[in-house]
Structure 1
């Protein structure tokens, strides 16, 4: 595992990553939207509104609003479940994969900079 971080170091790492991400021409996501996006990409599918609401412990309407925004950005897509036409699956997109890989790179770079400074 890595070197343990003190809370202020962790916050500065997060600050560095966030600052770099807002400098780029990428969607500016809320914390809720980012948590939802990371959940869809890092936890194996299938994902539904109900399941995401349970996983994140937030209301289904809040999930729907966040998904609306993520869909507008092209970071996720909705698809009717072929097995249960009443259910809608939340799926990953290439654009969302690229966005998160680049965000991961930003965090790695911020972490390397913090390690050099520390």
Structure 2
């Protein structure tokens, strides 16, 4: 596939997020989706402190995102048994399936945009 033009990239982003909003999937904010993708695409371990540093936000911001993602079953949290001050963020089967469906959706929309 050749490189997308900016207008095509924006159309792809629009079409993919529109399809996600219309689907019976959780309607995540950009920040929540970024946290989710970071946990699934980058090697663990993931901590609240580490995610906050990576995204350039406070731990409270990450905690709010994790609260929502946890309610949807997309991620879980637990105390690090080696250092009880740290909270580990863990993947779930539901989260992996959600992102697999989203990835498939993006591929389908990319085919439509490119064409």
The question of a shared fold, defined as TM-score above 0.5 by the shorter chain, is answered with: yes
Superposed structure 1 runs of 4+ greater than 3 Å apart: none
CA distance in 1: counterparts of 2:11 and 2:72, whole angstroms: 28
CA distance in 1: counterparts of 2:51 and 2:71, whole angstroms: 18
Shift of 1:108: 0.1
Shift of 1:73: 0.6
The structure with the greater share of residues assigned to strand is 2
Residue of structure 2 in register with 1:6 after alignment:
5
CA distance in 1: counterparts of 2:58 and 2:23, whole angstroms: 31
Aligned length: 115
CA distance in 1: counterparts of 2:49 and 2:20, whole angstroms: 30
CA distance in 2: counterparts of 1:85 and 1:50, whole angstroms: 13
> Does the 8 Å contact 2:45/2:89 carry over to 1?
yes
Listed one character per residue, the Cα deviations across residues 53-106 of structure 1 (whole Å, up to 9, x for unaligned) are 111111111111101110011100001111112211000000000000000000
The DSSP-based 3-state class of the residue aligned with 2:83 is coil
Residue of structure 2 in register with 1:56 after alignment:
55
1:38 paired with 2:37, answer: yes
Shift of 1:115: 1.7
